[in-house]
């Protein structure tokens, strides 16, 4: 009986845990704290944080329990991540929730979304410089797009062994937008530039809103067919919303479908951060490069806006460049708040959303392009 | 381990340059395309209107009897009623004011037929001309 008790105790998590598990538990608690107390991207950080706690409960391997063990429940749920199914479903919901009218009223703001993607290519070079393999470097670089689902999608295709660290880095930096972006914006702009007021948006007709997803999917996916799983569903979701005859489908896509995918995506990504797989020198490198990617993306958007101002009669507020990353709506909100700080009557939210939504499209195209380079 | 050779050996420079160019040109094309949508729609609508009108005209000519009125004038309220509507708008403007300012006010309030209404108010002496095409509201008329 005593042997049985000893045997049982030796199989408990308390006995099997080592310092790495405790480190990961601290990471998990931090995510939960940031999500629940600080309200930083709670829809993402709460399921991921809880997933980190669950994924870092030590167990005896070989019994089909862990996420990396065949036939385990978690492994089946993780299938949606490794095949890129969840990110595509999230994009469907995102499309059904996104209002592109601000982008349609000021199409030139789309260039800021393009400029912010430069962070991706700078990070690609940096990762290669640091000795990462090309496929790994491409997966790390996409963090610069500041789009969690896109990062997961590309990493699942190119370097599935890095999904955990890359997803955590991408979502962490998305949640830390209020910390990362404002100093860069302030550093690169003068007060006079921050005070620039944007003209009110043109009223966009319903027909334009309906035509846009059709034009968008054709132009973008003919250019980068590998972005089809993301952009195809993004524009489908948007078409469902705008066409006005399938409200039931649009409502389901923007509520139940995206919520279900977000829960399983966040939770399984969290679970995939098992200490023995996650805590490696490579993961540290990924976190470092992720921060570089995000900062460069923000900076290149702001700098490009300033360059555009050299040629434009009607100047644009360069803060909007920071919203060119695709962290919707976090970066647009941050730009708006900084504009309000300088001038309480300067409302930049809708213009920021235009840059943000073009950033989503831009980073998905980048993911498609990078994937196609390795086909 | 850290080396620019890693970038060159893995075709990194080319990937970055080509990738950045593709995404940039793609979004430039998309932004150009979406900037043209409303113009194309306006053209299309005008075309539809033109064909619609000629069809309508044909139908009307067929169904109308001889001597039926070809045009029905818009309904404009009596001038006193117009003065009652326009007085508060004129009060919001600094006198003397330009009629365009009054016209803008009516547009904001979505008041129908502002041109005809302002014309009638002028003819009835509610709007008195001043120097440089400016007008004031005739307060004596209010009494």
- Tokens of residue A134, six digits: 């090309």
Residues of A in contact with B37 (CB under 8 A): 104, 208, 211-212, 215
Question: Hey, are the CB atoms on A219 and B20 less than 8 Å from each other?
Answer: no
A125 touching B, CB under 8 A? Answer: yes
Domain membership of residue B52 (yes or no) is yes
pLDDT for B117-136, tens place per residue?
888 888 888 888 887 778 88
The pLDDT of residue B58 is 60
Question: Hey, are the CB atoms on A121 and B4 less than 8 Å from each other?
Answer: no
B16 touching A, CB under 8 A? Answer: yes
B32 touching A, CB under 8 A? Answer: yes
CATH code of residue B132: 1.10.10
Question: Hey, are the CB atoms on A134 and B19 less than 8 Å from each other?
Answer: no
Contact (Cβ atoms closer than 8 angstroms) between residue B85 and residue B111: yes
In this complex, which of B20, B28, B33 lies closest to A118 when CB atoms are compared?
B20
pLDDT range class, residue B48, cuts 50, 70, 90:
low
Question: Hey, are the CB atoms on B16 and A121 less than 8 Å from each other?
Answer: yes
Q: What is the 3 state secondary structure string of chain A?
A: CHHHHHHHHHCCHHHHCCHHHHHHHHHHHHHHHHHHCCCCCHHHHHHHHHHHHHHCCCCCCCCCCCCCCCCCHHHHHHHHHHCCHHHHHHHHHHHHHCCCHHHHHCHHHHHHHHHCCHHHHHHHHHHHHCCCCHHHHHHHHHHHHCCHHHHHHHHHHHCHHHHHHHHHHHHHHHHCHHHHHHHHHHHHCCHHHHCCCCCCCCCCCHHHHHHHHHHHHHHHHHHCHHHHHHHHHHHHHHHHHHHCCCHHHHHHHHHHHHHHHHHHHHHHHHHCCCHHHHCCHHHHHHHHHHHHHHHHHHHHHHHHHHHHHHHCCCCCCHHHHHHHCCCCCHHHHHHHHHHHHHCCCCCCHHHHHHHHHHHHHHHHHHHHHHHHHCC
Domain membership of residue B10 (yes or no) is yes
Domain membership of residue B58 (yes or no) is yes
Question: Hey, are the CB atoms on A129 and B16 less than 8 Å from each other?
Answer: no
Dihedral (Cα; A76, A77, A80, A86), 10-degree rounding: 170
A279: β partners: none
State how far the Cα of A366 lies from the Cα of A25, in Å rounded to an integer. Answer: 34
State how far the Cα of A77 lies from the Cα of A88, in Å rounded to an integer. Answer: 15
Please report, in tens digits, the pLDDT of each residue of chain A (375 residues total).
Answer: 788 888 888 888 888 888 888 999 999 999 999 889 988 888 888 999 999 999 888 887 777 888 888 888 999 999 999 888 999 999 999 999 998 998 999 898 999 999 989 989 999 999 999 989 999 999 999 988 888 889 999 999 999 888 888 988 888 888 888 888 999 999 999 999 999 988 887 888 899 999 999 999 999 999 889 899 999 999 999 999 999 899 999 999 999 999 999 999 999 989 988 888 888 888 888 888 888 888 999 999 999 999 999 998 888 999 999 998 888 788 898 999 999 988 888 888 889 999 999 999 999 999 999 999 988
Q: Is the model's pLDDT at B62 over the cut of 70? A: no
Number of domains, chain B: 2
Residues of A in contact with B38 (CB under 8 A): 104, 202, 204-205, 208
B137: β partners: B127
Q: Are residues B96 and B138 in the same domain?
A: yes
How many Å lie between the alpha carbon of A169 and the closest alpha carbon of chain B? 22
Domain membership of residue B32 (yes or no) is yes
CB-CB neighbours of A210 under 10 Å: 16
Domain membership of residue B88 (yes or no) is yes
How many Å lie between the alpha carbon of A321 and the closest alpha carbon of chain B? 14
Q: Among residues 189-208 of chain A, which lie with CB inside 8 Å of chain B?
A: 202, 204-205, 207-208
A369 touching B, CB under 8 A? Answer: yes
Q: Which of A114, A175, A111 is nearest to A145 (CA)?
A: A114
pLDDT range class, residue B112, cuts 50, 70, 90:
confident
Q: Are residues B57 and B90 in the same domain?
A: no
**Whole-number average pLDDT of chain B:** 80
State how far the Cα of A144 lies from the Cα of A297, in Å rounded to an integer. Answer: 6
Which residues lie closer than 8 Å to B13 by C-beta, 6 or more apart? A125, B7
State how far the Cα of A9 lies from the Cα of A14, in Å rounded to an integer. Answer: 8
Instruction: Return contacts of A86-89, CB within 8 angstroms, 24+ apart.
Output: A86/A149, A86/A152, A86/A261, A86/A264, A86/A265, A86/A268, A87/A149, A87/A150, A87/A152, A87/A153, A87/A156, A87/A229, A87/A230, A87/A265, A88/A149, A88/A153, A88/A229, A88/A230, A88/A233, A89/A233, A89/A257, A89/A258, A89/A260, A89/A261
The H-or-E segment that residue B19 falls in is helix B12-63
Question: Hey, are the CB atoms on A208 and B41 less than 8 Å from each other?
Answer: yes
Question: Hey, are the CB atoms on A121 and B26 less than 8 Å from each other?
Answer: no
B13 touching A, CB under 8 A? Answer: yes
What 8-state DSSP symbol labels residue B142?
G
A38 touching B, CB under 8 A? Answer: no
ipTM at complex level? 0.85
The pLDDT of residue A173 is 84
How many Å lie between the alpha carbon of B130 and the closest alpha carbon of chain A? 35
- The whole domain housing B18 covers 5-63
Q: Is the model's pLDDT at B74 over the cut of 70? A: no
A15 touching B, CB under 8 A? Answer: no
Report the chain B residue with the minimal C-alpha distance to residue A370: B19
| In chain A, where the domains are located | 85-258+279-373
Residues of B in contact with A108 (CB under 8 A): 31, 35
Residues of A in contact with B35 (CB under 8 A): 107-108
A296 touching B, CB under 8 A? Answer: no
The pLDDT of residue B63 is 57
Q: Are residues B18 and B48 in the same domain?
A: yes
Residues of B in contact with A321 (CB under 8 A): none
B48 touching A, CB under 8 A? Answer: no
Question: Hey, are the CB atoms on B30 and A120 less than 8 Å from each other?
Answer: no
Q: What is the 3 state secondary structure string of B100-133?
A: HHHHHHHHHHCCCCHHHHHHHHHHCCCEEECHHH
Tell me the backbone φ, ψ of residue A280, rounded to 5 degrees: -130, 160
What 8-state DSSP symbol labels residue B139?
G
Handedness of CA A162, A145, A90, A43 (dihedral sign): positive
How many Å lie between the alpha carbon of A179 and the closest alpha carbon of chain B? 27
pLDDT range class, residue B71, cuts 50, 70, 90:
low
Residues of B in contact with A122 (CB under 8 A): 16
CB-CB neighbours of A277 under 10 Å: 18
Query: Which comes out higher in pLDDT, residue B61 or A337?
Result: A337
Question: Hey, are the CB atoms on A125 and B16 less than 8 Å from each other?
Answer: yes
Q: Are residues B83 and B43 in the same domain?
A: no
Question: Hey, are the CB atoms on A361 and B27 less than 8 Å from each other?
Answer: yes
Out of B18, B38, B63, a domain closes at B63
pLDDT range class, residue B73, cuts 50, 70, 90:
low
Residues of B in contact with A361 (CB under 8 A): 27, 30
């Amino acid at each position: 009986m005593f042997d049985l008790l000893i045997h049982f105790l030796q199989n408990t998590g308390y006995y099997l845990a080592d310092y790495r598990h405790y480190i990961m538990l601290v990471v998990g608690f931090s995510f939960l704290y940031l999500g629940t107390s600080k309200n930083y991207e709670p829809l993402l950080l709460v399921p991921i944080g809880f997933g980190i706690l669950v994924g870092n409960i030590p167990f005896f391997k070989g019994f089909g329990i862990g996420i990396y063990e065949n036939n385990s429940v978690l492994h089946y749920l993780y299938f949606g991540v490794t095949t890129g199914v969840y990110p595509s479903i999230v994009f469907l919901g995102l499309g059904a929730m996104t209002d592109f009218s601000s982008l349609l009223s000021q199409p030139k703001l789309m260039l800021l979304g393009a400029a912010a993607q430069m962070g991706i290519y700078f990070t690609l070079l940096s990762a290669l410089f640091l000795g990462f393999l090309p496929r790994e470097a491409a997966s790390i670089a996409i963090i610069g797009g500041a789009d969690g689902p896109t990062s997961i999608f590309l990493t699942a295709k190119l370097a599935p062994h890095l999904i955990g660290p890359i997803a955590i880095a991408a979502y962490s930096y998305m949640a830390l937008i209020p910390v990362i972006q404002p100093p860069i914006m302030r550093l690169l702009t003068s007060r006079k530039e921050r005070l620039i007021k944007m003209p009110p948006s043109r009223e966009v007709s319903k027909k334009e809103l309906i035509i846009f997803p059709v034009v968008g999917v054709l132009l973008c996916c003919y250019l980068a067919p590998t972005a089809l799983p993301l952009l195809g569903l993004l524009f489908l979701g948007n078409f469902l919303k705008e066409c006005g005859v399938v409200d039931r489908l649009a409502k389901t896509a923007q509520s139940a479908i995206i919520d279900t995918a977000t829960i399983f995506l966040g939770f399984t990504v969290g679970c995939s951060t098992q200490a023995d797989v996650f805590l490696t020198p490579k993961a540290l490198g990924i976190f470092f490069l992720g921060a570089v990617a995000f900062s460069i993306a923000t900076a290149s958007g702001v700098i490009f806006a300033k360059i555009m101002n050299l040629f434009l009669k009607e100047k644009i507020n360069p803060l909007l460049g920071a919203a060119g990353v695709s962290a919707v709506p976090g970066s647009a909100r941050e730009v708006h708040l900084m504009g309000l700080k300088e001038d309480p009557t300067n409302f930049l939210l809708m213009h920021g959303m235009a840059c943000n939504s073009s950033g989503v499209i831009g980073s998905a195209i980048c993911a498609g392009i990078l994937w196609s380079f390795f086909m | 381990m850290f080396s620019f050779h890693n970038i060159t050996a893995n075709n990194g420079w080319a990937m970055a340059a080509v990738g950045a160019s593709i995404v940039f040109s793609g979004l430039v094309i998309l932004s150009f395309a979406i900037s043209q949508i409303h113009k194309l729609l306006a053209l299309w609508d005008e075309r539809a209107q033109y064909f619609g009108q000629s069809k309508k005209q044909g139908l009307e000519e067929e169904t109308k009897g001889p001597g039926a009125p070809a045009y029905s004038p818009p309904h404009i309220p009596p001038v006193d009623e117009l003065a009652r509507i326009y007085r508060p708008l004129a009060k919001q403007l600094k006198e003397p004011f330009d009629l365009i300012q009054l016209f803008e006010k009516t547009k904001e309030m979505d008041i129908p037929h502002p041109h005809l209404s302002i014309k009638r108010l002028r003819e009835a002496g509610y709007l008195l001309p001043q120097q440089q095409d400016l007008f004031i509201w005739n307060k004596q008329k209010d009494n």
